[in-house]
Structure 1
Amino acid sequence: MELTSKQARHAATAVPGVPRDDDGPVFREPWEARAFAMALALHEGGVFTWSEWAQTLGEEIKRAQAAGDPDTGETYYNHWLATLERLVAAKGVATTELLHQYRDAWDHACDRTPHGKPIELKAEDFGNASSR
């Protein structure tokens, strides 16, 4: 999915707390932009409303703060990702187990990839992920 500026600005204003400037959302790392784009695509696909998203995101932030998150803004997209995973599982798009399987496979792929080289997910990453 290609994220347009108009879509990004709308999402950034629809969900309170999104780090942004006058042009729209601001990301410190590429994965943050990808997580933002995935949430936008799922919203546009009708998986959840922005109200559902904002409520669940607020719950994730409160949960993290109760566990000691310093709430400096640097962990905002960690909460965004946790919200994305939670809603994807709750809405039946993917199970929590499947999400964990892919996370573990990506971790394995990262571990075996030399620095500076593209990370490629291979079938072997899934086999090793389950034994880790």
Structure 2
Amino acid sequence: MVPDFKSTVGLPQDAEGPVFAAPWEAAAFAMAVKLCEDGHFTWPEWVACYSAEIAEHEAEAHPGETIHYYEIWQEALESMLAQKGLIDLHQLDHRHEHLRDHPPHHDHAAKREPVAIA
């Protein structure tokens, strides 16, 4: 059976259901918390960056358009890391384009023969 990586099984839940809609959201949240704990930025710096990204998206949104806050969280995290010199946004954009144009193949067939015998 192929694992369902989009499943929310194992994600934190509150009374209304999963706190995160997908595993990547939990990972993005955890990365921001860990980077802050490790001293790469302060939580007030993070709040200011994230709030600015939200305000920008809300100003550009059309009436009734859904705003996906964890997508904004990810964008804010990338922006914060670039401001701190921890990532290069041009390299990140290039990597995004590469993955978009050359998606990884996740369907691997099981092989019963060994690749090599030593």
**Where does structure 2 lack aligned partners over 5 or more consecutive residues?**
1-12, 109-118
**CA distance in 1: counterparts of 2:89 and 2:44, whole angstroms:** 22
Q: Quick one: structure 1 residues 33 and 117, their matched pair in 2 at CA, closer, same or farther if it must change by over 3 Å?
A: farther
**Where does structure 1 lack aligned partners over 5 or more consecutive residues?**
1-19, 119-132
* Aligned partner letter, 2:48: Q
**CA distance in 2: counterparts of 1:56 and 1:71, whole angstroms:** 22
**CA distance in 2: counterparts of 1:59 and 1:100, whole angstroms:** 21
C-alpha offsets along residues 23-49 of structure 1, whole Å, 9 cap, x if unaligned? xx8110111111112112211221111
Please tell me whether the aligned partners of residues 65 and 71 of structure 1 are also in contact (alpha carbons under 8 angstroms).
no
Over 3 Å off, 4+ runs = 69-72
- Is 1:47–2:47 an aligned residue pair? no
Q: Quick one: structure 1 residues 43 and 109, their matched pair in 2 at CA, closer, same or farther if it must change by over 3 Å?
A: farther
User: What does residue 30 of structure 2 align with?
Assistant: 37
Relative to the length of structure 1, the TM-score reads 0.60
Q: Quick one: structure 1 residues 106 and 97, their matched pair in 2 at CA, closer, same or farther if it must change by over 3 Å?
A: same
Equivalent pairs, count = 94
Q: Quick one: structure 1 residues 99 and 61, their matched pair in 2 at CA, closer, same or farther if it must change by over 3 Å?
A: same
Superposed, which structure 2 residues align to 1:94-105 within 5 Å?
94-105=87-98
**CA distance in 1: counterparts of 2:102 and 2:43, whole angstroms:** 33
* Aligned partner letter, 1:21: D
- Identify the structure with the greater helix proportion: 1
Relative to the length of structure 2, the TM-score reads 0.66
Match of residue 81, structure 2, among 76, 81, 88: 88
* Identity of matched residues, %: 37
**CA distance in 1: counterparts of 2:65 and 2:76, whole angstroms:** 16
**CA distance in 1: counterparts of 2:22 and 2:38, whole angstroms:** 25
C-alpha offsets along residues 75-114 of structure 1, whole Å, 9 cap, x if unaligned? 010110011010010000011112212222332342x52x
